[in-house]
A and B are shown apart, each in its own frame.
Chain A
Amino acid sequence: MSRLRAFGHFWWDFVVGDDWRAAAGVILAIGATAALVAGGVDAWWLMPVAVAAVLWLSLRRAAT
């Protein structure tokens, strides 16, 4: 069990790292893009804007 936890912890740390909110923001942004596309809007512009916001919020948290 502890090996399984260590394996899960390794992958969490590997992909998500020390700011889970940034990863959650990425998932939300992808979901919002898919929802807008489903609604007929070609929302290619959303991810760059969302990444800028997610990155800046994450940096501000780290720098305080």
Chain B
Amino acid sequence: MADGFLIASAFLASAVEFVEALTIVLAAGITRGWRSSLAGLGAATVALAVIVAALGPALTLIPIDALRLVVGGLLLAFGLQWLRKAILRSSGYKALHDEAEIFAREQAEAQAAGREERAGLDWYGFTLAFKGVLLEGLEVAFIVITFGSAQKNIGLAALGAGVALVLVAIVGFRVRGPLTRVPENTLKYAVGVMLTTFGIFWSTEGAGAHWPGDDASLPGVLAFVLLLSFAAVALLRRRRLSFA
């Protein structure tokens, strides 16, 4: 059961990040040329692969309780950020993430930038795609490494991320535009819930406490976080309407 959650979490979190990376690569490719944009994408992918290959096996050498304590704490801090933003978006306190708007902004900035050639590439297009993919990809690498190492199965987490990458790449290639129809805000909400759930579960185990039923309590923690977030959305909506 925990393995299913692991793959689903890595898949959802990675899909969100890959959709955002795709928007940047598309904006760079359309305005600055595909050669520089794809070179930036390739260079960032290599850098990310090196990071995962170096850190992944190193983390598996750390004792599992210590690892779960640190990973759980990091995931919880990280996951609460996602959940908080998702709740604020759902309750109307924060603007919804709009991939079309981001694409238009990136495109306008890329068009306005001057042209500088380095190593036969348009440097702006290369760095825009490289930075975009590296930064979005770092979040994927962080999730794959932390989830995978805490569950002692980096392969499964990488599988979830890999499926997301292939799916977004195929759809992106077919659409050749930002994936505006992907329910990104809902996905971000789901990822926030998943990260917070695993964060609570592992940090508690890492601190030495034992969940009743061990791994079987994971759906219970998930249900708790879901109910908590729904209650927060409802309370904040009511609060916003009462001030309006």
Contact = CB atoms under 8 A, between A and B. Distances in A.
A63 B236 contact: yes
B232 A56 contact: yes
A26 B87 contact: no
B202 to A, nearest CB: 10
Interface residues of B, number: 39
B80 A42 contact: no
Given A33-B204, A44-B212, A62 B76 contact: no
A55 B228 contact: yes
Nearest to A61: B84
Contacts of A43: 207, 209
A15 B78 contact: yes
A37 B20 CA distance: 42
Given A16-B77, A34-B207, A63-B236, A55 B72 contact: no
Given A55-B80, A63-B240, A44 B204 contact: yes
Secondary structure of the A side of the interface?
A: helix
Interface in A23-64: 23, 26-27, 29-30, 33-34, 36-38, 42-44, 46-48, 51-52, 54-56, 58-59, 62-63
B210 interface: yes
A27 B69 CA distance: 10
**Contact-residue size bin, chain A (C-beta under 8 Å from the other chain):** 20 to 34
B36 interface: no
Interface string B57-81: 0000000000001001110111011
Nearest to B138: A14
Contact of B73 (A30, A42, A58): A30
Nearest to A58: B84
A26 B209 contact: no
12 contacts: A14-B142, A15-B74, A17-B78, A26-B80, A26-B199, A30-B203, A30-B206, A30-B207, A33-B209, A44-B204, A47-B204, A48-B221
A-B pairs with lowest CB-CB distance, top 4: A37-B208, A17-B81, A33-B207, A34-B207
Interface of A: 14-19, 22-23, 26-27, 29-30, 33-34, 36-38, 42-44, 46-48, 51-52, 54-56, 58-59, 62-63
